[in-house]
Amino acid sequence: MISDVRLCVIGLGYVGLPLAVEFGKKIPTTGFDLNAARVAELRQGVDSTLEVTENELKAAINLTYATKKEEIARCNTFIIAVPTPIDAAKRPDFKPLIGASTTVGQVLKNGDVVIYESTVYPGATEEVCVPILAKESGLVFNRDFFCGYSPERINPGDKQHRLPTIVKITSGSTPETAKFVNELYGAVITAGTFPASSIKVAEAAKVIENTQRDVNIALVNELALIFNRLGINTLEVLEAASTKWNFLPFRPGLVGGHCIGVDPYYLTYKAQEAGYHPEMILAGRRLNDQMGQYVAGQFVKLLLKKNCAVCQARALIMGLTFKEDCPDLRNTKVVDIIAELAEYGIQSDVYDPWVKADEAWHEYRVKTIAAPEKGRYQGVIVAVAHRQFRDLTAADIRAYCAENSVIFDVKNILPRDQVDGAL
């Protein structure tokens, strides 16, 4: 019964916090995070990810916070929403998921349900997480405790598609658990739910959502490379092609973030473990991963054409986050541009009004500036389409530059005839 649920949401990031807030409006909910500073800011009504407003936090009248496992021992339903990154070899890194499963396993009781939202390959919940829950609790899976899987579909920075308005896939380890999980999410998801036949199906559905987008963007990125060689405006081609009703309107660009640039590696890892080498998916990943170096290379060529001394040049990088209008730095590919420019001896000033300087330094050892200086730069790369940048004209941006300068517009936010290069 939903009325008997004492819920705990593990991980209060971009995924977990909106969940905790929505459930906290209706049922007793504890938001758990090991980051004491994160919990402290939420208790003060502040969400640094900007996904939830102060008023929304206040509306969650049944939501409390915790940082110690003893504080969640009374809960009987757990939703785990922690990151699932990749390691340096682009293999799944389950450390956050293992840690969260260990914590929950140590407080698990007879009849409890554990639901996972983290993106994984098909089978990971039952192969990686369930054994940890069983070992730590001493309980038997599907007799003493049960599991569900309901993949997250949060789009950071998107104020139109919010948690309640996105259809939720649900699943459970038994028919009864599946029904319970579906009813639980149905209490807060106004868009409705889609019950999957198994946990594996739900896991697979999530991982292919982002894999499909990754492959589609890779195709458009490759088209941009081709059209650049042919002297054709890629954006004009895409706009013309988009007049056909079934053309998919993807745009070229940098593919970062916690999902699209990461999740396909979970699927390819499992595919290779099963004896199949995925060709298309990995080709798309390789192509998308090289786009930062490509942008930097094109920028350097434009400098050379204007007889700029490359090794003495200073560039302004506008934007550091992985997407526009949000402070999310996870897996941003802008750092690839910065690193490649450094290989040419070009120093970069990074300006992003959405980013905290200490976070940029902690994550990437990138120093950000409070504001660009006028007349200082030999070139500008508009890397992220923040609204603050969209409000600028090409002349506004050119004012940051010295004479004989270069503007490269990664996001095509400026008229093509007013910039020197674009994707």
Q: Which residues are catalytic?
A: 259
Pairing of strands 113-116, 77-80: parallel
Task: Enter the DSSP assignment of 167.
Answer: -
- Six-digit token pair at 286? 């390789």
Q: Using only C-alpha atoms, what is the Rg of the chain?
A: 23
Q: How far is residue 306's CA from residue 378's CA, in Å, rounded to a whole number? A: 10
Q: How far is residue 17's CA from residue 182's CA, in Å, rounded to a whole number? A: 20
Measure CA of the first residue to CA of the last residue in the chain; give whole Å: 53
| DSSP labels, 96-162 | HHHHHHHHHHTT--TT-EEEE-S---TTHIIIIIHHHHHHHH-PPBTTTBEEEE------TT-SSS-
- Bridge partners (DSSP) of residue 116 are 80, 149
Q: How far is residue 35's CA from residue 47's CA, in Å, rounded to a whole number? A: 13
